[in-house]
A and B are shown apart, each in its own frame.
Chain A
């Protein structure tokens, strides 16, 4: 009986894993991963300031091909949206004007903005440019939030080319 117990104990000893090589591997991996670790992820938003250009689209046949440029004025209390056509004979699109009231960090006004931009995008699918004109008092984080909402909605691309401009006058 005692012999049987000894044999069992011996076989248990034999099956125990040798953890030393695994621990050594961990000791090598951890400093390497610590050096490569980033505790914040930095991303980028591409934008530009206005530059002079002389490009016009001649006589677009329909809305499918017609390109408009959305002008979004970000004010303290409201968002004004209008559209500029790239055809010289119809520069200002009066039917595209709207005003959305906003309070700082308000989700509701941003939702309303997204709905309007989605409607514009479905009407002019070839359009991809938006000129963002913030008021002087508007904070940078609000500008970034507006850019996020104007750029895309879930997987749908709205107006990814955003030009940041100061207001005239």
Chain B
């Protein structure tokens, strides 16, 4: 009985409104932050230590600071740009009947440099998504 009570209290403290929405990979370590803002599940860009994904679809691989297929001078020819553009066109169709998303949820490994991140956020900006939500772990 005592054991059950302890488990129950522990689980009550771990209770989350959306527990299964975001799954973090082993090669993705989010930075911690004091932010209390809630994220909204929308278009999701994941930049882990090994790959770049758009809504769980692999767009490019990451090797150190380099993202293959995402050259700084040719961002508009990248698969990420085309993927975002296609998503935007699709979401803006009137028959969808939903408000098109205005921002991108960005999950990025904390060890990446701004040089690497900047290419991703620039590409999203060029594709018509200049607003971001950076996913972080609550401190």
Interface residues in chain A, defined as those with a beta carbon under 8 Å from any beta carbon in chain B: 19, 22-23, 26, 29-30, 33-51, 134-141, 143-145, 147-148, 151-152, 164, 166
Q: Are A39 and B130 in contact (CB under 8 A)?
A: no
- In the complex, A147 Cα to B132 Cα: how many Å? 13
Q: Are B132 and A43 in contact (CB under 8 A)?
A: no
Stretch at the interface among B30-38, B55-63, B84-92, B93-101: B30-38
Q: Are B114 and A23 in contact (CB under 8 A)?
A: no
Contacts of A47 in B (CB 8 A): 131-134
A77 CB → nearest B CB, Å: 15
Q: Are A30 and B7 in contact (CB under 8 A)?
A: yes
Interface residues in chain B, defined as those with a beta carbon under 8 Å from any beta carbon in chain A: 1, 4, 7-8, 11-12, 14-16, 19, 22, 24, 30-40, 103, 105, 108-115, 117-118, 121-122, 124-125, 130-138
A interface: dominant SS: mixed
Contacts of A37 in B (CB 8 A): 11, 14-16, 19
A15 CB → nearest B CB, Å: 17
19 A-B residue pairs with Cβ-Cβ distance under 8 Å, sorted by A, are A23-B1, A26-B8, A30-B11, A33-B8, A38-B14, A42-B39, A43-B39, A43-B137, A44-B35, A45-B35, A45-B37, A46-B37, A46-B131, A49-B122, A49-B130, A137-B113, A137-B115, A140-B110, A151-B35
Contacts of B137 in A (CB 8 A): 40-43
Contact for A136 among B24, B113, B132, CB less than 8 A: B113
Contact for B15 among A26, A33, A141, CB less than 8 A: A33
Contacts of B109 in A (CB 8 A): 140
Q: Are A135 and B114 in contact (CB under 8 A)?
A: yes
A66 CB → nearest B CB, Å: 26
Other A-B contacts than A41-B138, A45-B133, A139-B112, 12 sampled, CB-CB below 8 A, are A22-B1, A30-B11, A37-B16, A41-B137, A42-B138, A43-B35, A43-B136, A47-B132, A136-B115, A137-B115, A140-B110, A143-B114
Contact for B111 among A33, A41, A50, A141, CB less than 8 A: A141
- In the complex, A23 Cα to B7 Cα: how many Å? 13
B131 CB → nearest A CB, Å: 5
Contacts of B110 in A (CB 8 A): 139-141, 144
- In the complex, A30 Cα to B12 Cα: how many Å? 9
Q: Are A43 and B11 in contact (CB under 8 A)?
A: no
Contact for B114 among A19, A29, A136, CB less than 8 A: A136
- In the complex, A43 Cα to B33 Cα: how many Å? 8
Q: Are A137 and B114 in contact (CB under 8 A)?
A: yes
Contacts of B14 in A (CB 8 A): 33, 37-39
Q: Are A166 and B118 in contact (CB under 8 A)?
A: yes
Contacts of B16 in A (CB 8 A): 36-38, 41
Contacts of A45 in B (CB 8 A): 33, 35, 37, 133-134, 136
Contacts of A166 in B (CB 8 A): 114, 118, 122
